[in-house]
Protein backbone atom coordinates (compact mmCIF):
# COMPACT_ATOMS: atom_id res chain seq x y z
CA UNK A 1 0.00 0.00 0.00
CA UNK A 2 1.59 3.29 -1.12
CA UNK A 3 0.82 6.89 -0.11
CA UNK A 4 -1.68 7.44 -2.93
CA UNK A 5 -3.50 4.23 -2.09
CA UNK A 6 -3.81 5.24 1.57
CA UNK A 7 -5.15 8.71 0.72
CA UNK A 8 -7.64 7.19 -1.71
CA UNK A 9 -9.01 5.04 1.13
CA UNK A 10 -9.75 8.11 3.24
CA UNK A 11 -12.65 10.57 2.86
CA UNK A 12 -11.54 13.60 0.85
CA UNK A 13 -11.81 15.95 3.86
CA UNK A 14 -9.51 13.77 5.95
CA UNK A 15 -7.05 13.15 3.13
CA UNK A 16 -6.74 16.91 2.60
CA UNK A 17 -5.58 17.33 6.20
CA UNK A 18 -2.58 15.00 5.80
CA UNK A 19 0.59 17.07 6.17
CA UNK A 20 2.93 14.09 6.02
CA UNK A 21 2.65 10.31 5.74
CA UNK A 22 5.25 7.66 6.39
CA UNK A 23 5.26 3.86 6.33
CA UNK A 24 8.04 2.16 8.27
CA UNK A 25 8.11 -1.58 9.00
CA UNK A 26 4.34 -2.02 8.79
CA UNK A 27 3.73 1.08 10.90
CA UNK A 28 1.76 3.96 9.37
CA UNK A 29 2.48 7.43 10.79
CA UNK A 30 0.19 10.29 9.82
CA UNK A 31 0.67 13.96 10.70
CA UNK A 32 -2.49 16.00 10.22
CA UNK A 33 -3.15 19.73 9.98
CA UNK A 34 -5.43 20.64 12.90
CA UNK A 35 -6.28 24.18 11.79
CA UNK A 36 -9.81 25.18 12.78
CA UNK A 37 -10.52 22.00 14.76
CA UNK A 38 -11.87 22.14 18.29
CA UNK A 39 -10.73 19.61 20.88
CA UNK A 40 -13.73 17.36 20.17
CA UNK A 41 -13.23 17.73 16.41
CA UNK A 42 -9.60 16.65 16.81
CA UNK A 43 -10.64 13.52 18.71
CA UNK A 44 -13.28 12.68 16.10
CA UNK A 45 -10.81 13.25 13.26
CA UNK A 46 -8.22 10.96 14.85
CA UNK A 47 -10.83 8.25 15.42
CA UNK A 48 -12.03 8.52 11.81
CA UNK A 49 -8.47 8.24 10.51
CA UNK A 50 -7.81 5.15 12.61
CA UNK A 51 -11.06 3.52 11.53
CA UNK A 52 -10.41 4.22 7.85
CA UNK A 53 -6.87 2.87 8.18
CA UNK A 54 -7.93 -0.48 9.64
CA UNK A 55 -7.35 -3.38 7.34
CA UNK A 56 -4.87 -1.61 5.10
CA UNK A 57 -2.65 -4.16 3.40
CA UNK A 58 0.78 -4.39 5.01
CA UNK A 59 -0.12 -2.07 7.92
CA UNK A 60 -0.20 -3.46 11.46
CA UNK A 61 -0.26 -0.25 13.53
CA UNK A 62 -1.25 3.36 13.01
CA UNK A 63 0.10 6.49 14.76
CA UNK A 64 -1.75 9.80 14.33
CA UNK A 65 -0.43 13.23 15.31
CA UNK A 66 -2.49 16.39 14.84
CA UNK A 67 -0.58 19.66 14.64
CA UNK A 68 -2.01 22.54 16.61
CA UNK A 69 -3.14 25.56 14.66
CA UNK A 70 -0.28 28.02 14.42
CA UNK A 71 -0.95 31.60 15.42
CA UNK A 72 0.52 34.13 13.06
CA UNK A 73 2.26 36.42 15.47
CA UNK A 74 3.33 39.92 14.45
CA UNK A 75 6.03 41.95 16.16
CA UNK A 76 6.05 45.74 16.35
CA UNK A 77 8.99 47.54 17.96
CA UNK A 78 8.40 50.82 19.79
CA UNK A 79 11.66 52.75 19.65
CA UNK A 80 13.34 56.07 20.18
CA UNK A 81 16.87 57.31 19.90
CA UNK A 82 16.70 59.01 23.27
CA UNK A 83 15.55 58.19 26.78
CA UNK A 84 12.88 60.11 28.65
CA UNK A 85 10.54 60.68 25.73
CA UNK A 86 7.72 58.47 27.03
CA UNK A 87 8.29 55.42 24.87
CA UNK A 88 7.40 52.91 27.60
CA UNK A 89 4.25 54.82 28.52
CA UNK A 90 3.21 54.83 24.87
CA UNK A 91 3.87 51.08 24.56
CA UNK A 92 1.77 50.24 27.62
CA UNK A 93 -1.12 52.43 26.52
CA UNK A 94 -1.04 51.13 22.94
CA UNK A 95 -1.23 47.60 24.32
CA UNK A 96 -4.26 48.52 26.44
CA UNK A 97 -5.97 50.33 23.55
CA UNK A 98 -5.36 47.40 21.21
CA UNK A 99 -6.67 44.92 23.79
CA UNK A 100 -9.82 47.00 24.18
CA UNK A 101 -10.19 46.89 20.38
CA UNK A 102 -10.12 43.09 20.41
CA UNK A 103 -6.48 42.46 19.46
CA UNK A 104 -4.71 39.60 21.27
CA UNK A 105 -1.69 41.66 22.22
CA UNK A 106 1.33 40.99 24.44
CA UNK A 107 4.18 43.19 25.68
CA UNK A 108 7.92 42.49 25.89
CA UNK A 109 9.91 44.97 27.95
CA UNK A 110 13.26 44.86 26.14
CA UNK A 111 14.83 47.56 28.29
CA UNK A 112 17.00 45.10 30.22
CA UNK A 113 18.73 47.77 32.29
CA UNK A 114 15.75 49.97 33.11
CA UNK A 115 12.48 48.00 32.84
CA UNK A 116 9.30 50.02 33.26
CA UNK A 117 6.47 47.82 32.05
CA UNK A 118 5.88 45.91 35.33
CA UNK A 119 5.00 49.24 36.98
CA UNK A 120 3.06 50.61 34.01
CA UNK A 121 0.95 47.47 33.57
CA UNK A 122 0.62 46.62 37.28
CA UNK A 123 2.50 43.30 37.40
CA UNK A 124 5.49 44.16 39.60
CA UNK A 125 4.99 41.34 42.11
CA UNK A 126 4.44 38.58 39.57
CA UNK A 127 7.12 36.04 38.68
CA UNK A 128 7.06 34.08 35.41
CA UNK A 129 7.42 30.30 35.53
CA UNK A 130 9.23 28.10 33.01
CA UNK A 131 7.66 25.13 31.25
CA UNK A 132 9.58 22.93 28.81
CA UNK A 133 12.44 25.44 29.02
CA UNK A 134 10.21 28.32 27.89
CA UNK A 135 9.07 31.23 30.02
CA UNK A 136 5.35 31.57 30.66
CA UNK A 137 4.26 35.24 30.48
CA UNK A 138 2.60 36.88 33.46
CA UNK A 139 -0.48 39.05 33.03
CA UNK A 140 -0.81 42.77 33.61
CA UNK A 141 -3.57 45.34 33.17
CA UNK A 142 -6.63 43.92 31.34
CA UNK A 143 -4.93 40.48 31.56
CA UNK A 144 -2.40 41.49 28.90
CA UNK A 145 0.39 38.85 28.76
CA UNK A 146 3.81 40.39 29.29
CA UNK A 147 7.43 39.70 30.20
CA UNK A 148 10.18 41.96 31.48
CA UNK A 149 13.54 41.64 33.19
CA UNK A 150 11.75 43.50 35.96
CA UNK A 151 9.87 40.23 36.60
CA UNK A 152 13.09 38.20 36.80
CA UNK A 153 15.64 40.41 38.57
CA UNK A 154 15.41 41.36 42.25
CA UNK A 155 13.66 44.75 42.72
CA UNK A 156 16.04 47.68 42.46
CA UNK A 157 19.02 45.53 41.45
CA UNK A 158 21.24 46.99 38.73
CA UNK A 159 22.22 44.50 36.00
CA UNK A 160 25.87 44.91 35.01
CA UNK A 161 25.56 42.86 31.83
CA UNK A 162 27.51 43.13 28.62
CA UNK A 163 25.75 43.27 25.27
CA UNK A 164 25.61 39.53 24.48
CA UNK A 165 24.04 38.75 27.86
CA UNK A 166 21.41 41.44 27.38
CA UNK A 167 20.70 40.18 23.86
CA UNK A 168 20.33 36.62 25.17
CA UNK A 169 17.88 37.78 27.82
CA UNK A 170 15.77 39.52 25.17
CA UNK A 171 15.66 36.33 23.11
CA UNK A 172 14.27 34.40 26.09
CA UNK A 173 11.53 36.98 26.51
CA UNK A 174 10.53 37.03 22.84
CA UNK A 175 10.71 33.23 22.45
CA UNK A 176 8.49 32.61 25.49
CA UNK A 177 5.24 30.66 25.28
CA UNK A 178 2.91 33.42 24.08
CA UNK A 179 -0.01 31.10 23.33
CA UNK A 180 -2.60 32.66 21.03
CA UNK A 181 -1.09 36.16 21.22
CA UNK A 182 -1.39 37.75 17.77
CA UNK A 183 0.77 40.83 18.26
CA UNK A 184 3.83 41.50 20.41
CA UNK A 185 4.74 45.08 21.20
CA UNK A 186 8.46 45.34 22.00
CA UNK A 187 9.37 48.25 24.25
CA UNK A 188 12.96 48.85 23.13
CA UNK A 189 15.55 50.64 25.24
CA UNK A 190 16.68 54.05 23.97
CA UNK A 191 19.56 54.24 21.55
CA UNK A 192 20.92 51.92 18.88
CA UNK A 193 23.02 49.41 20.84
CA UNK A 194 23.29 45.63 21.17
CA UNK A 195 19.75 44.98 22.39
CA UNK A 196 18.25 46.94 19.50
CA UNK A 197 20.51 45.17 16.99
CA UNK A 198 19.54 41.76 18.38
CA UNK A 199 15.89 42.69 18.10
CA UNK A 200 15.94 43.87 14.50
CA UNK A 201 18.35 41.23 13.21
CA UNK A 202 17.23 38.08 15.00
CA UNK A 203 13.53 38.69 15.61
CA UNK A 204 12.82 40.85 12.55
CA UNK A 205 9.86 43.04 13.58
CA UNK A 206 7.06 43.50 11.06
CA UNK A 207 7.27 47.23 11.67
CA UNK A 208 8.38 49.93 14.09
CA UNK A 209 6.87 53.01 15.71
CA UNK A 210 9.22 55.86 16.64
CA UNK A 211 8.31 58.21 19.49
CA UNK A 212 9.91 61.56 20.19
CA UNK A 213 9.27 64.85 21.90
CA UNK A 214 9.07 67.91 19.61
CA UNK A 215 12.46 69.36 20.62
CA UNK A 216 15.28 69.34 18.08
CA UNK A 217 17.68 67.29 20.22
CA UNK A 218 15.16 64.45 20.59
CA UNK A 219 14.44 64.55 16.86
CA UNK A 220 18.14 64.14 16.04
CA UNK A 221 18.19 60.97 18.14
CA UNK A 222 14.90 59.79 16.65
CA UNK A 223 16.52 60.05 13.23
CA UNK A 224 19.22 57.64 14.39
CA UNK A 225 16.57 55.16 15.49
CA UNK A 226 14.93 55.49 12.10
CA UNK A 227 18.23 54.79 10.37
CA UNK A 228 18.65 51.61 12.42
CA UNK A 229 15.28 50.29 11.30
CA UNK A 230 15.91 51.36 7.71
CA UNK A 231 19.28 49.57 7.64
CA UNK A 232 17.64 46.40 8.98
CA UNK A 233 14.82 46.73 6.42
CA UNK A 234 12.18 47.09 9.15
CA UNK A 235 9.45 49.42 7.86
CA UNK A 236 8.64 52.43 10.02
CA UNK A 237 4.87 52.46 10.58
CA UNK A 238 4.95 56.07 11.69
CA UNK A 239 6.04 58.66 14.25
CA UNK A 240 4.36 59.78 17.46
CA UNK A 241 4.87 63.17 19.10
CA UNK A 242 4.79 62.87 22.88
CA UNK A 243 4.60 65.59 25.56
CA UNK A 244 3.03 67.88 23.00
CA UNK A 245 1.45 70.78 24.84
CA UNK A 246 0.83 71.35 28.54
CA UNK A 247 -2.55 72.55 29.80
CA UNK A 248 -2.26 74.64 32.97
CA UNK A 249 -4.50 73.02 35.61
CA UNK A 250 -5.41 76.48 36.95
CA UNK A 251 -6.17 78.60 33.91
CA UNK A 252 -6.31 76.01 31.12
CA UNK A 253 -3.80 77.89 28.96
CA UNK A 254 -1.75 75.64 26.67
CA UNK A 255 2.02 76.01 26.69
CA UNK A 256 4.68 74.05 24.83
CA UNK A 257 7.76 73.49 27.01
CA UNK A 258 9.26 71.10 24.43
CA UNK A 259 8.05 72.93 21.33
CA UNK A 260 5.19 71.97 19.07
CA UNK A 261 4.77 70.17 15.76
CA UNK A 262 8.41 69.18 15.40
CA UNK A 263 7.70 65.47 15.01
CA UNK A 264 4.94 66.06 12.46
CA UNK A 265 7.26 68.24 10.36
CA UNK A 266 10.03 65.68 10.74
CA UNK A 267 7.71 62.88 9.55
CA UNK A 268 6.63 64.94 6.55
CA UNK A 269 10.28 65.63 5.64
CA UNK A 270 11.00 61.89 5.69
CA UNK A 271 7.73 61.03 3.91
CA UNK A 272 6.62 58.91 6.87
CA UNK A 273 3.16 58.77 8.45
CA UNK A 274 2.52 60.97 11.46
CA UNK A 275 0.41 58.88 13.84
CA UNK A 276 -0.56 61.58 16.31
CA UNK A 277 0.45 63.43 19.45
CA UNK A 278 0.06 62.73 23.14
CA UNK A 279 -0.30 65.75 25.46
CA UNK A 280 1.91 66.49 28.45
CA UNK A 281 -0.49 66.12 31.38
CA UNK A 282 0.03 65.32 35.07
CA UNK A 283 -2.84 62.82 34.90
CA UNK A 284 -0.97 60.60 32.43
CA UNK A 285 2.04 60.53 34.75
CA UNK A 286 -0.04 59.84 37.86
CA UNK A 287 -2.06 57.09 36.17
CA UNK A 288 1.08 55.50 34.70
CA UNK A 289 2.86 55.43 38.06
CA UNK A 290 -0.22 53.80 39.56
CA UNK A 291 -0.34 51.05 36.90
CA UNK A 292 -3.65 52.28 35.52
CA UNK A 293 -2.91 53.36 31.92
CA UNK A 294 -5.17 56.20 30.72
CA UNK A 295 -6.02 54.14 27.64
CA UNK A 296 -8.01 51.83 29.92
CA UNK A 297 -10.46 54.63 30.67
CA UNK A 298 -12.36 57.29 28.76
CA UNK A 299 -11.73 60.88 27.76
CA UNK A 300 -9.37 62.83 25.54
CA UNK A 301 -6.21 61.04 26.71
CA UNK A 302 -7.68 57.59 26.11
CA UNK A 303 -8.92 58.74 22.69
CA UNK A 304 -5.43 59.94 21.73
CA UNK A 305 -3.90 56.53 22.43
CA UNK A 306 -6.82 54.72 20.79
CA UNK A 307 -6.38 56.74 17.58
CA UNK A 308 -2.71 55.73 17.32
CA UNK A 309 -3.54 52.10 18.12
CA UNK A 310 -6.21 52.10 15.41
CA UNK A 311 -3.71 53.29 12.79
CA UNK A 312 -1.20 50.64 13.89
CA UNK A 313 -3.85 47.91 13.57
CA UNK A 314 -4.92 49.20 10.15
CA UNK A 315 -1.30 49.20 8.95
CA UNK A 316 -0.85 45.57 10.04
CA UNK A 317 -4.12 44.56 8.38
CA UNK A 318 -3.02 46.21 5.14
CA UNK A 319 0.16 44.12 5.15
CA UNK A 320 -1.95 40.96 4.99
Q: What is the pLDDT of residues 271-285, one digit of tens each?
A: 899 999 998 888 888
* Tally of CB atoms within 10 A around 151: 22
C-alpha span between 104 and 64 (Å, rounded): 31
Above 50 in pLDDT, residue 160?
A: no
What percent of the chain has pLDDT above 70? 88
**Which residues make Cβ contacts (< 8 Å) with residue 41, sequence separation at least 6?**
none
pLDDT, residue 274, reads 94
pLDDT digits (tens, 9 = 90+) for 189-213: 876 666 677 777 788 899 999 998 8
pTM for the model: 0.75
Q: Are 205 and 75 in contact (CB under 8 A)?
A: yes
pLDDT, residue 298, reads 92
In sequence order, what DSSP letters do the residues of 136-155 get, joined into one string? EPEE-GGG-EEEEHHHHSPT
The alpha helices in 83-180, defined as continuous H runs, are 87-100, 117-120, 149-152, 163-174
C-alpha span between 30 and 153 (Å, rounded): 44
pLDDT digits (tens, 9 = 90+) for 231-266: 888 999 999 998 877 777 777 677 777 667 788 888
Quote the Cα angle for 47-49-52, to 5°: 105
Q: In the structure, what pLDDT confidence band is assigned to residue 1 with cuts at 50, 70 and 90?
A: low
Q: Is the backbone of residue 146 left (phi > 0), alpha (psi -120 to 50) or beta?
A: beta
Contacts of residues 248-257 at CB distance under 8 Å and 24 or more positions apart, as own/partner, are 249/282, 256/214
Q: Determine the average pLDDT of the residues in 25-47.
A: 80
Taking alpha carbons only, the member of 312, 310, 304, 313 closest to residue 244 is: 304
Q: At what angle do helices 216-231 and 262-269 cross, to 10 degrees?
A: 40
Taking alpha carbons only, the member of 114, 210, 117, 121 closest to residue 161 is: 114
Q: In the structure, what pLDDT confidence band is assigned to residue 71 with cuts at 50, 70 and 90?
A: low
Amino acid sequence: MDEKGIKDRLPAGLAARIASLRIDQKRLTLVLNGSGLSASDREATEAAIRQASEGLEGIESVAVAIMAERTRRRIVAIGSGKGGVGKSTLTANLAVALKRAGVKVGVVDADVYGPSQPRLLASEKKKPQAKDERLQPVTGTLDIPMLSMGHLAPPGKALAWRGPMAGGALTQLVDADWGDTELLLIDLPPGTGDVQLTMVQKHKPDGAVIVSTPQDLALIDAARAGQLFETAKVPVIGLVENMAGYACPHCGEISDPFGQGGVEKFAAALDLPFLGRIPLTPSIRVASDAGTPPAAGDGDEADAFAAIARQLAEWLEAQG
